Amino acid sequence: MKNVLVYVQHKGGVTPKVTFEMATEARKLADQLGGKAHAVVVGKGSSQLAEQLKSYPLDTIHVNDDADVDTFLLDPVVDYVEAAARAAGPSLVLVANTLTGKDVAGRLVGRLNAGVCADATDFKIDGGKIEAIMPKMGGAAITTCALKDGDYGIATIRPNAFSAQAGGSGASVQAIEKPSGKTYTVRIENDVEEGTGELALEEAPAVVAGGRGLGGPEPFDTLLKPLAKELGGAVGASRAAADAGWVPYSLQIGQTGKTVSPNLYIAVGISGAIQHKVGMRSSGTIIAINKDGAAPIAEFSDLTVVGDAFAIVPELTKLIAASKS
């Protein structure tokens, strides 16, 4: 197994940031394996997305703007990725660990008779052998899974577990031919997007997270939401806040919650326990607002503002609003 292939999930050319994380990781893995880093991007908007992907360190981006990909459910995508994988030879295929990604990965496992590692957060390569590291049971256990050399391997990748770094000398963009002799029956009639209008936590460029120090649910709405809005970001929480029922578990960040990697992470009234840290440590700039200057979070934040969040956050929000206007 030498080459690494990234399946690029997108809609109309818009892709989640895990794509760029996978493109960066693909380069590292391919270099260690002595192979090439490929990406497959198909469907409407692919050519435009390929231009964006060119700034990441891939060797080849295989593109087809085929409208069938958006018209029929999954099969065309799987056909394209299978074709690219077969052209690359026994390779490691990276797929985002999203709902769609998991569907695609499951089918590829069957098509390529591949080994599979689900929800990988790290890799180790030893003498050409690939091992994927995967937290299980909410992070209580860490498992290692080795892929068999010489066969195909599929790894689904946890969003925000790897960092994305642009660079490289510019990938070549190549048209990938539509696999022939295929008929598709399951047509997408209607595409309904459900959402709250707020940014998804994992995609937000800024996250303002609250903890037990906020003392109740209201400050999440009255204190954190306005700050997150000014920053164009999303609100998150520690487990203590989620366990207390102040916010839904979907906002929990950490070992048993979500992993985030925004450019800016503001932790408000969060002590910085190791289980919280593992979910946000790869954030760009980390700011802690905490009454206690000796809280563990001060050890890994770039800036610790020592004081009462109820006094600091509204002032900060006002200052940001004023600087914008």
> What whole-number distance in Å separates Cα of residue 152 and Cα of residue 112?
7
Q: Residue 273 interacts with ligand FAD (CB under 6 A)?
A: yes
> What whole-number distance in Å separates Cα of residue 294 and Cα of residue 308?
14
* CB closer to ligand FAD out of 35 and 254: 254
> What whole-number distance in Å separates Cα of residue 260 and Cα of residue 282?
8
Q: CB–CB of 42/80 below 8 Å?
A: yes
- In this structure, what token pair is assigned to residue 271? 């002590």
Selected binder of ligand FAD within 235, 241, 260, 264 (CB under 6 A): 241
Q: Residue 292 interacts with ligand FAD (CB under 6 A)?
A: yes
The count of other CB atoms within 10 Å of the CB of residue 79 is 22
Question: Considering only residues 293-322, where is the footprint of ligand FAD by CB under 6 A?
Answer: 295, 308-310
Between helices 99-112 and 75-88, what is the axis angle to 10°?
50
> What whole-number distance in Å separates Cα of residue 199 and Cα of residue 205?
9
Which one-letter DSSP state was computed for residue 249?
A: G
The count of other CB atoms within 10 Å of the CB of residue 73 is 12
With CB under 6 A as the contact rule, which of the stretches 7-15, 62-70, 226-234, 270-278 interacts with ligand FAD? Answer: 270-278
Selected binder of ligand FAD within 290, 301, 304, 317 (CB under 6 A): 290
With CB under 6 A as the contact rule, which of the stretches 78-86, 154-162, 171-179, 287-295 interacts with ligand FAD? Answer: 287-295
Selected binder of ligand FAD within 77, 92, 117, 240 (CB under 6 A): 240
* CB closer to ligand FAD out of 38 and 239: 239
* CB closer to ligand FAD out of 58 and 227: 227
Q: Residue 255 interacts with ligand FAD (CB under 6 A)?
A: yes
Work out how close the CB of 129 gets to ligand FAD at its nearest, in angstroms, rounded to a whole number.
30
CA of 134: how far to CAs of 45, 120, 141, 281, in Å? 32, 5, 9, 17
* CB closer to ligand FAD out of 175 and 294: 294
22: enclosing H helix or E strand: helix 18-33
Question: Considering only residues 202-221, where is the footprint of ligand FAD by CB under 6 A?
Answer: 211-213
Binding site residues, ligand FAD, CB under 6 A: 140, 211-213, 238-241, 252-257, 269-271, 273, 275-276, 279, 289-292, 295, 308-310
